[in-house]
Chains A and B, each alone.
Chain A
Amino acid sequence: MERNEGETMNVDIVVIGGGASGLAAALSAKDETNSVIVLEREHVLGGILNQCIHNGFGLHVFREELTGPEYASRFIEKFHAENIDYKLDTTVLSINKPDDCFIVEAYNNEDGALTIHAKAVILSSGCYERTRGQIKLPGARVAGIMPAGSAQRYLNIDGYLAGKDVFILGSGDIGLIMARRMTLEGAKVHGVAELMPYSNGLTRNIVQCLHDFDIPLYLSHTVTDIKGTKRLEEITIQEVDENYQPIAGTEKKFSVDTLLLSVGLVPDTMVFESMDLTLSPITKGAIVDHTYQSNIPGIFACGNALHVHDLVDWVTIESEKAGASAKRYVAGEIKEERNNLTIEPREGIRYTVPQSIDMNNFKEPVTVMFRVTNKYDVGTFTVKQGDTIIQQKKARFIAPAEMESLMIKPEQLIDQTTPITIELEVK
């Protein structure tokens, strides 16, 4: 094969990342009139789903319980049936817009440098895990401390177990799933510590992954010391007060060789370093309107690259919408000029996605996804414009870990200019 020429191509829509999100976006973006290409840095499509060999995927989209790879394969088959273009082992490094089209720069072993001119770009590059440094974990810097998702990949894709005596910091879903998974592989999981007074994982995962295996969950606890010379030998956990400061005298020590971190995921927007993509300080993903278009016209975002999802079903639904918008954008059906009405999180709400509705393109009902700041048994979500209540929704078992949603219809709005607010009322 001739390997010395950098290749240049023209495509209508480039999709960055071929996980659940990229696949769904590409499927809904493609029609007979346009061209779409998916670029994926891994050797296979499907993204993070490939390492999620547990079940619990697809309850909403397919009304059945699938494993991650099964869920992925349903989309991959459709994707192949539609004959959508894609390149594997291909990493996108940057995106620029010097003139009227985007220039996507990607690399792989065969084409070398790939330069793609595109009218629209869908960012579906997933997220990365927070690491030890970002949470400023004190103590010795020894081998044996790794993000839970990395351990999951080593175990489920490569067939290697990270350690035999394990502790888990953070009760995010990956940590919970890994507590069970490592136990099943013969490791001893000594416990899970969570800084907050409630778990950050889905309730079903607490039950099925910890309770069923008698793994203790230490709420309002964190790791305050790490000891070891080469490999991790011992960790200390401590209870924290309401300001998250360790309380003296509550130290518990565990002799473990492995500490997995499940302390949060961050949307990966790295390829936009050279463009002025506006990011939300809370989600760390792009700020989008209801078409999932970012502040840069023609750039759409969805899936974990937009905000971190715990259920793949919502990823799929969101990404289909983003894909459909990109298709309409390329076909000239989305008005260039925008008139954004913001949606603002108020009391009890951490963030919403989308963060605005583009009134120039608002015809269909819009689903707003959001997360709350605290855990409550019951409460009411109130949507307002100014002092006018335009919608209320009662909810049970409200928790930061469970994404909430509600629908806003065009006819509900009282005017085109008063910002929409969402708040949570609890008794």
Chain B
Amino acid sequence: MLDYVIIGGGVVGTLIARELSKYEVSILLLEKENDIGNHATLANSAIIHSGHDPKPGSLKAQLCVRGNTMYETLAKELKIPLIFSGAFVVARDQEEVDTLDLLYQRALHNGVKEVALLDADEAQNREGNLADGVLKVLDLPTTKVTYPWEVAIAALENALLNGAQFKTNAKVTKISPVNDHFIVEINQQEEIEARYVINAAGVYADELASFVEDDLPYRITPRRGEYFVLDKKVKGFVERVLYPVPSDKGKGVLVVPQVHGNILLGPTSEFQDAKENRDNHSDHLNWIRRDSEKLAKNIPFDQIIRTFSGLRATSTYHDFYIQPAKKHPQFIHVAGIDSPGLTAAPAIAEYVVKTLLNRDQRLPKKTDFNPNRVKKKPFYESHFEEKLQLFKEDHRHGHIVCKCERVTEAEVVAAIHSPVASPTIKGIKKRVRAGSGLCQGGYCENTIVKIIARELNIPISEVDYYEKETPILWKETKVKR
């Protein structure tokens, strides 16, 4: 019997796994995909919000502000990229200026540090490409930007280091409460027993929760957000995250500098029924163009290299729903984690473990918990001398696989054999950035397919693009021998 089963390998599930691994308990994280961090954690704005936006008194406000302050330490321990970009909320007419003043009060109320209102000149001085016609700006220096899926990968790697376990390709298909524990069914085949179940399944949280609770106080109504990605050549176009004044439709389309120099334009906001559909729509992409020009001028649209979209797990409860189930309190709902879920994730993990699970402090603490993840400095970040050293350690550092992002064969091989690995084209891209650049894998994909095939000893026609059974090639044309 396991102590804890965590369902869902997004940033929330993985950080809960890490938090729990500070105690002498057995932990198993289950993820239905062939990789962790493939859903909301893969497709979002990557912003560590300051906490100016959530309604005062809500769990969102509390955990967002707390999460924001936790990221600095988290980034050091887990070696995840974090930029201290700051942000502007931009007001363009009198009505928006009025809302901005309220937002300023709200930020203070929520406990956001260093907030200030700036006039147009001051704002223009600090952010050269700010759109003309801006009247007033809310300055949020504590806003940061991270690399979301690396947060999840790093958190899980660290949890594993401290004794947790995980399984991918493991979809929870049924949960049956029995006496003092649960039987968790995986892929309609295997059964696992656990004393506690933590439901961090993103948009599927309501479906899983229905196995243990009849009248759920929430439903997940997925809300899609679409984006453009600009090439990292545009680095420096804006220093800060630019937000419009929020409306009842949400935060609106933003301009977001990313940790590697790219810029995101988006997201849109569309409710939909399907929990999987992550298509892009031409109309929606056109809205992004139009709306982003209200925030910044001279946007280099010719540097667009990619579009994508993600689904927010917005719930009818209108706040994060983090509570024990009523009839089966050993089942913990961690549901409705839409924005600012990435920001709040470390605080959510802390809340779940410290406030809910270990309220009476009876969980035995590990004496040898190691908070630090070991991570090699990537080749592209290394100085010349360090590169020579890398080459000395492994001569495959001399083979540049991806020229756009400067990734070496040694790094690809290391990613294939890493503790939280996913040897697909996308899995490699998520870990070493090969294929994230200007040519979008046009050149390196061919080499990476061959490296994966070689390392796994499979034909290249069996190498998957992303999910299980998504080979990029159909068949070999010539029969050998």
Contact = CB atoms under 8 A, between A and B. Distances in A.
A112 B408 CA distance: 11
A344 B392 CA distance: 52
Contacts, number: 154
B102 interface: no
Given A138-B285, A224-B282, A159 B472 contact: no
Nearest to B229: A133
B40 to A, nearest CB: 15
Interface string B283-296: 00100000000000
Contacts of A129: 439, 442
A133 B460 contact: no
A391 B330 CA distance: 87
Given A109-B398, A153-B446, A163-B474, 15 more contacts: A6-B384, A93-B403, A107-B387, A113-B398, A129-B439, A132-B440, A133-B229, A138-B280, A139-B279, A140-B277, A143-B464, A161-B474, A224-B282, A230-B468, A258-B474
A230 B470 contact: yes
A161 B476 CA distance: 6
B116 interface: no
Interface in B362-418: 384, 387-388, 391-392, 395-400, 403-404, 406, 408
B120 interface: no
Most chain A beta-carbon contacts within 10 A, residue among B396, B469, B475: B475
B473 A131 contact: no
A216 B420 CA distance: 47
Interface of A: 3-6, 41, 89, 91, 93, 105, 107-113, 128-129, 131-134, 136-144, 146-147, 149-150, 153-155, 158-164, 185, 224, 226, 229-231, 246, 257-258, 268, 270, 273, 281
A109 B460 contact: no
B438 interface: yes
Given A107-B398, A112-B398, A136-B307, A159 B391 contact: no
Say whether chain B's binding surface is mostly helix, strand, loop, or mixed: mixed
A368 B469 CA distance: 51
A105 B379 CA distance: 14
Contacts of B467: 230
B397 A141 contact: no
B477 A161 contact: yes
A304 to B, nearest CB: 13
B280 A139 contact: yes
A3 B440 CA distance: 32
20 contacts: A4-B388, A107-B397, A108-B398, A109-B399, A113-B387, A129-B442, A133-B440, A136-B304, A136-B307, A139-B279, A139-B280, A143-B466, A160-B474, A160-B476, A161-B476, A230-B467, A230-B468, A230-B470, A231-B470, A270-B403
B388 to A, nearest CB: 5
B442 A107 contact: no
A158 B466 CA distance: 21
Contact of B282 (A89, A110, A138, A258): A138
A128 B443 contact: yes
A248 B474 CA distance: 34
Contacts of B477: 155, 159-161, 185
A205 B164 CA distance: 59
Contacts of A154: 446, 473
